[in-house]
């Protein structure tokens, strides 16, 4: 983008300058955000101040605010990618202050989490999942039901109610992770942070974190995130450490703190209980498995997603 004060200078040398100047001023003053700002500060702002600030105001009007005209961060339309302007009074002029836009804030936060937890890595199609872009076949009533429940959750959460997450189960490839991604994105657009953690990889990662002592830090981040999505629970290999110390600790904390948790699994609740009862070593620990299941049932509403395999 050409620097605005340059184009302004060029403009000033043209014979039709006055007309253009008035058009530009009209455009600026017609902008609802500018009008609101002027009304709010009516005691401080006079005509001269507006005239002195016209270049700034013009810059303001032409930038996207709150990501309204930007489909994604990489397609950000603003002068400085990821930053949007606010109007401020600075001495005798109206000036602009740039701060991170909501998309950039969410992006930076995700990067911070990703730097800490590698198993948070999410494929691109899931990262871009959105409720209104989810394909639904005519016969897929369960998908519609799940989307409805997910939207109800986000709505309730945004109005301050802490409702249960979902225990989303169904066969491979039906789109469970995709729906979790859509929930995460919808929450992010309301500035709610969430983490979508791929459980089998997360467990492997934690096992490897003993050496570099980052285990507590990773565990803490997952325990405390406002909304957690445990993706593909049941696909990990079970050890009593993983079940009782890791999964048990996370669920216990979140239950007590009333922090919503979503779970996706290929297993229904009964099958998951069976899965958790047998460790790799062949030990049978039904009571410990039952304890985990109790927490899961307390924190989530089970719902089955039925549909065709959308993979490949
Ligand atoms: P699951 O987690 O149930 O195994 P995924 O969520 O990974 O399934 O979905 C499998 C594939 O199908 C992914 O590539 C995903 O992007 C795609 N997908 C999922 N749901 C839909 C949908 N409703 N419409 C179109 N593609 C979808
Ligand atoms: Mg999945």
pLDDT tens, per residue, the chain with 312 residues = 456 666 666 766 777 878 888 888 999 999 999 999 999 999 999 999 999 999 999 999 999 999 999 888 889 999 999 999 999 999 999 999 999 998 898 888 888 877 777 667 677 788 788 888 888 887 888 999 999 999 999 999 999 888 999 999 999 999 999 999 999 888 887 878 899 999 999 999 888 887 777 888 889 999 999 999 999 999 998 898 999 999 999 999 999 999 999 999 999 999 999 999 988 787 888 999 999 999 999 999 999 999 888 886
The predicted structure's pLDDT at residue 260: 97
User: Separation of 172 CA from ligand 2 center, angstroms?
Assistant: 7
Do 126 and 241 lie in a common domain?
A: yes
Q: Are 120 and 152 in contact (CB under 8 A)?
A: no
CB distance 134 to ligand 1 below 6 Å? yes
Do 277 and 132 lie in a common domain?
A: yes
Supply the residue whose CA is at minimum distance from atom 24 of ligand 1: 135
The predicted structure's pLDDT at residue 52: 93
How many other CB atoms sit within 10 Å of the CB of residue 149? 18
Do 135 and 280 lie in a common domain?
A: yes
Q: How far apart are the C-alpha atoms of 308 and 310, rounded to whole Å? A: 6
Atom of ligand 1 nearest to the CA of 181: 6
Do 96 and 123 lie in a common domain?
A: no
Q: How far apart are the C-alpha atoms of 190 and 195, rounded to whole Å? A: 15
Do 69 and 194 lie in a common domain?
A: no
Query: From the CA of 135, which ligand is nearest?
Result: 1
Do 77 and 147 lie in a common domain?
A: no
Question: Ligand 1 pocket check: which of 144, 178, 267 to mutate, most ligand atoms within 8 Å of Cβ?
Answer: 178
Last residue of a domain, one of 68, 100, 132: 100
309 part of a folded domain: no
The predicted structure's pLDDT at residue 16: 80
Domain containing 77 equals 4-100
Last residue of a domain, one of 48, 71, 100: 100
Last residue of a domain, one of 74, 100, 126: 100
Q: Of the candidates 21, 216, 225, which has an alpha carbon nearest to the alpha carbon of residue 110?
A: 225
Q: What is the CATH number of the domain that holds 138?
A: 3.40.50.300
The predicted structure's pLDDT at residue 86: 96
The predicted structure's pLDDT at residue 2: 52
48 part of a folded domain: yes
The pTM assigned to this predicted structure is: 0.76
What three-state secondary structure class fits 166? Answer: strand
Q: Of the candidates 234, 169, 227, which has an alpha carbon nearest to the alpha carbon of residue 203?
A: 234
The predicted structure's pLDDT at residue 226: 94
CB distance 307 to ligand 1 below 6 Å? no
Type and span of the H or E element at 264: strand 261-265
Do 92 and 164 lie in a common domain?
A: no
The predicted structure's pLDDT at residue 290: 96
The predicted structure's pLDDT at residue 3: 60
Domain total in the chain = 2
Do 138 and 215 lie in a common domain?
A: yes
106 part of a folded domain: no
Do 262 and 236 lie in a common domain?
A: yes
Which backbone phi and psi does 304 adopt, to 5 degrees? -95, 135
The predicted structure's pLDDT at residue 114: 75
User: Separation of 123 CA from ligand 2 center, angstroms?
Assistant: 11
User: Separation of 100 CA from ligand 1 center, angstroms?
Assistant: 31
The predicted structure's pLDDT at residue 135: 82
Do 87 and 131 lie in a common domain?
A: no
CB distance 174 to ligand 1 below 6 Å? yes
Q: How far apart are the C-alpha atoms of 153 and 159, rounded to whole Å? A: 10
Q: Are 84 and 78 in contact (CB under 8 A)?
A: yes
CB distance 177 to ligand 1 below 6 Å? yes
Do 177 and 81 lie in a common domain?
A: no
């Amino acid at each position: 983008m050409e620097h605005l004060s340059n184009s302004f200078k060029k403009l000033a040398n043209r014979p039709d300058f006055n007309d253009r100047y008035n058009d530009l001023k009209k455009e600026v003053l017609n902008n609802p955000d500018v009008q609101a700002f002027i009304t709010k500060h009516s005691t401080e702002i006079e005509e001269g101040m507006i005239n002195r600030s016209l270049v700034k105001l013009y810059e303001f009007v032409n930038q996207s605010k709150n990501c309204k005209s930007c489909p994604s961060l990489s397609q950000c339309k603003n002068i400085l990618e990821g930053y949007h302007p606010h109007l401020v009074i600075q001495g005798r002029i109206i000036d602009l202050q740039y701060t991170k836009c909501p998309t950039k804030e969410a992006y930076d936060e995700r990067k911070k989490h990703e730097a800490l937890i590698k198993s948070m890595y999410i494929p691109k199609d899931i990262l871009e999942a959105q409720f209104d872009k989810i394909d639904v076949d005519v016969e897929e009533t369960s998908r519609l039901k799940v989307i409805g429940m997910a939207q109800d959750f986000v709505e309730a959460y945004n109005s301050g109610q802490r409702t249960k997450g979902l225990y989303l189960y169904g066969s491979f490839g039906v789109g469970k992770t995709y729906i979790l991604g859509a929930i995460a994105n919808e929450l992010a657009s309301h500035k709610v942070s969430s983490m979508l953690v791929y459980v089998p990889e997360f467990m492997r990662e934690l096992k490897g974190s003993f050496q570099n002592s980052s285990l507590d830090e990773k565990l803490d981040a997952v325990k405390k995130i406002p909304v957690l999505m445990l993706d593909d629970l049941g696909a990990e290999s079970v050890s009593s450490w993983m079940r009782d110390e890791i999964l048990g600790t996370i669920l216990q904390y979140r239950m007590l703190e009333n922090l919503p948790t979503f779970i996706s699994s290929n297993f229904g609740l009964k099958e998951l209980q069976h899965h958790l009862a047998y460790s790799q070593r062949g030990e049978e620990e039904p009571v410990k498995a039952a304890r985990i299941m109790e927490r899961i049932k307390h924190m989530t509403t089970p719902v089955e997603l039925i549909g065709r395999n959308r993979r490949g």
